[in-house]
């Protein structure tokens, strides 16, 4: 058992009174003294800031990089221009998901951002599949990462940079913020307008401090982040996707470029798409009081038809919401299902995602 | 962490305040802080006969769910209905407005099994 790592912002979380938990091998803030609900509201209405330095970063450069990435990821990397970002996944030959990731195209190569819990596994997987003239480097310990999210983020950040912050969703710029050179990416995991800042530890510490000092930014932890991402139906690796789920059943068909040529897992995934998956990831709302949790059974007419993969209470809808898999044919929105909560069926209804609409995401 | 001296505590992080043979039961400050924002509480039914250690309800918080275990034996005589609309009282005032149930004790001697504030403080350290 190795001791949990600390991010460069650890001391700041402690000083802010955060409740820390061990997550993916890191000591991370789960919530701050204001509580999850207020952190949530800050992100939906104002500005919230997350330390997500536990996430992993790989640099992938060399003349063979495009061919390599086309082989190991499922989205079409050839479509990316410099300064663009792309959501994607890596799959095993059987179609199961190794990890989901964000890929950035830089002027000299690519930069991949992966889940903290999968850093070693992903690195080994990529190394194992490495082809000619590709240089792969794990930079996870060198980067800090913060996510600044909420409808007022652009307004707030503009006080600290001369850069034009009207950049397209899923793109990035190299910018100077608070006198530090960082990578400013218009991405996030909340469904709101927001930016993620990748930089060295000192740079990110200084930016964190400057933003906190404004008094207009609410530090937010993993618990509120989880609620925010569920409301948007953003998958979490280890919950909604893993090595036993394929991209088609996980509704990641939109990032699966079957027409780009061969890639690892393509044959199986193409067959799944052709024959339709045996199960589908659905989103549902509770119609009676109850909170769905990962692992709860889903039933229709007292028959087991699936399993909950993520669930919480939605502050906006003021009811329980969840993600889960159900058997093929049962996944239509409007369908009534039962969630088994402590041996009792509790009524729920399948709905179209996302749970929260008209957010500031594209503003 | 607030641990009032006049209360008795269980290892499952409930407090009891006994007056005659009726005990008011709630969650400790430590418990509410560990659970985080509480969304609702499932109560037992009034009139339920319960034994020490029986489940007397479930606390649903944003990030987790926890069962409450009765620190004492007796009959459920009252539940805090205010928590239906304001479950966050358990977070904001765990020893006051956030009380959870009242039990009419049938074995008051069981109070000797509970911890005093000092022992409870040691437990959560």
**What b/e sequence results for A326-352 when a residue is b if at least 16 CB atoms lie within 10 Å of its CB, and e otherwise?**
bbeebbeeebebbbbbeeebbebebbe
Task: Inspect the interface and report whether the beta carbons of A36 and B37 lie closer than 8 Å.
Answer: yes
Task: Look over chain B and give the mean of its residue pLDDT values, rounded to a whole number.
Answer: 95
**Which of B42, B60, B61, B87 is the mutation pick for testing A, counting most A CBs within 10 A?**
B60
**Residue A223 pLDDT more than 90?**
yes
Contact B102, B23 (CB under 8 A): yes
Question: What are the φ and ψ backbone dihedral angles of A273, each rounded to 5 degrees?
Answer: -65, -40
Token representation of residue A340: 């088994």
DSSP H stretches of helix in chain B: 29-35, 82-85, 89-92, 117-124
The interface predicted TM-score of the complex, written ipTM, equals 0.75
Same domain, A227 and A147: yes
Chain A segment 122-141 residues within 8 A of B by beta carbon are none
Take residue A73 and report the two structure tokens written for it. 């990821």
Please report, for the domain that includes residue A85, its CATH number: 3.30.70.1400
Residue A1: pLDDT band with limits 50, 70, 90: very low
Residue whose entry in the numeric block shows the structure tokens 């499922």: A74
pLDDT in tens, A7-51: 999 999 999 999 999 999 999 999 999 999 999 999 999 999 999
Interface contact A313-B39, CB threshold 8 A: yes
Domain that holds residue A36: 5-55+142-231
Q: DSSP of B74-90, one letter per residue?
A: EEEEEE-THHHH-TTHH
Question: Is the confidence at residue A112, as pLDDT, over 70?
Answer: yes
Q: Which of A216, A231, A246 is the last residue of a domain?
A: A231
CA gap A88, A265 in Å, rounded: 13
Q: Residues of B with CB below 8 A from A291's CB?
A: 39, 60, 65
Q: Which two tokens stand for residue A113?
A: 């951002």
* A167 Cβ neighbours under 8 A, 6+ residues apart: A173, A184, A186
Q: How far is A260 from chain B (nearest CA, A)?
A: 40
Question: Is B1 an interface residue toward A (CB < 8 Å)?
Answer: no
Q: Are the CB atoms for A255 and A89 separated by under 8 Å? A: yes
With an 8 Å Cβ cutoff, are B60 and A30 in contact?
A: no
DSSP structural state of residue A171: B
Residue B122 lies in a domain: no
Domain count of the fold of chain B: 1
- Overall average pLDDT of the A190-200 stretch: 98
Average pLDDT over residues B112-120: 96
Domain that includes residue B18, residue range? 8-108
Residue A229 has pLDDT above 90, yes or no: yes
Minimal Cβ distance to B40: which of A30, A31, A289: A289
Taking Cα atoms as reference points, which of A172, A171, A178 lies closest to residue A157?
A: A178
Q: Which of A138, A158, A180 is the last residue of a domain?
A: A138
Q: Which two tokens stand for residue A313?
A: 């209470």
Residue with tokens 């983020």: A153
B2 inside domain = no
Residue A157 domain-assigned (yes or no): yes
Is pLDDT of B78 > 50?
Answer: yes
């Amino acid at each position: 058992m190795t001791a949990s790592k600390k991010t460069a912002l650890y001391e700041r979380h402690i000083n802010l009174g955060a409740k820390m938990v061990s997550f993916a091998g890191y000591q991370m803030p789960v919530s701050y003294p204001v509580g999850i609900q207020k952190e949530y509201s800050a992100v939906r209405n104002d500005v919230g800031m997350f330390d997500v330095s536990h996430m992993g970063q790989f640099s992938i450069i060399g003349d063979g990089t495009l061919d390599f990435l086309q082989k190991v990821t499922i989205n079409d990397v050839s479509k990316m221009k410099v300064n663009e970002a792309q959501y994607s996944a890596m799959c095993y030959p059987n179609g199961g998901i190794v990890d989901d990731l964000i890929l950035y195209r830089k002027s000299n190569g690519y930069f991949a951002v992966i889940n903290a819990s999968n850093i070693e596994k992903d690195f080994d997987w990529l190394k194992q599949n490495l082809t000619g003239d590709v240089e792969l480097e794990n930079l996870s310990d060198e980067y800090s990462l913060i996510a600044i999210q909420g409808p007022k983020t652009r307004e707030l950040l503009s006080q600290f940079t001369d850069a034009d912050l009207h950049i397209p969703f899923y793109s990035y710029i190299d910018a100077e913020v608070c006198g530090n050179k960082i990578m400013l990416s218009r991405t996030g995991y909340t469904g709101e307008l927001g930016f993620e800042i990748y930089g060295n530890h000192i740079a990110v510490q200084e930016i964190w401090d400057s933003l906190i000092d404004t008094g207009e930014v609410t530090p937010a932890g993993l618990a509120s982040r989880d609620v925010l991402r569920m409301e948007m139906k953003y998958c979490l690796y280890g919950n909604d996707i893993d090595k036993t789920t394929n991209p088609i059943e996980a509704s990641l068909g939109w990032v699966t470029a079957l027409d780009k040529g061969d890639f690892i897992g393509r044959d199986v995934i193409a067959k799944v798409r052709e024959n339709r998956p045996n199960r589908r990831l659905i989103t549902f709302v509770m119609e009676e009081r109850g909170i769905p949790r990962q692992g709860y059974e889903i039933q229709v007419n007292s028959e087991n038809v699936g399993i909950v993969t993520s669930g919480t209470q939605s502050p906006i809808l003021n009811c329980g919401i969840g993600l889960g898999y159900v058997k093929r044919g049962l996944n239509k929105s409007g369908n009534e299902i039962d969630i088994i909560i402590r041996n009792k069926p509790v009524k729920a209804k399948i709905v179209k995602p996302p749970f929260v609409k008209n957010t500031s995401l594209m503003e | 962490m607030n641990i009032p001296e006049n209360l008795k505590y269980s290892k499952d992080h409930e407090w009891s305040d006994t007056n005659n043979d009726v005990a008011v039961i709630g969650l400790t400050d430590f418990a509410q802080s560990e659970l985080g924002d509480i969304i609702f509480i499932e109560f037992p039914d009034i009139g339920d006969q319960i034994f020490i250690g029986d489940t007397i309800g479930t606390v649903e918080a944003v990030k987790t769910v926890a069962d409450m275990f009765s620190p004492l034996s007796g009959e459920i005589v009252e539940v805090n209905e205010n928590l239906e609309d304001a479950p966050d009282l358990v977070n904001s005032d765990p020893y006051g407005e956030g009380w959870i149930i009242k039990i009419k004790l049938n074995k008051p001697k069981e109070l000797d099994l509970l911890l005093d504030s000092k022992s409870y403080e040691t437990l959560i350290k």
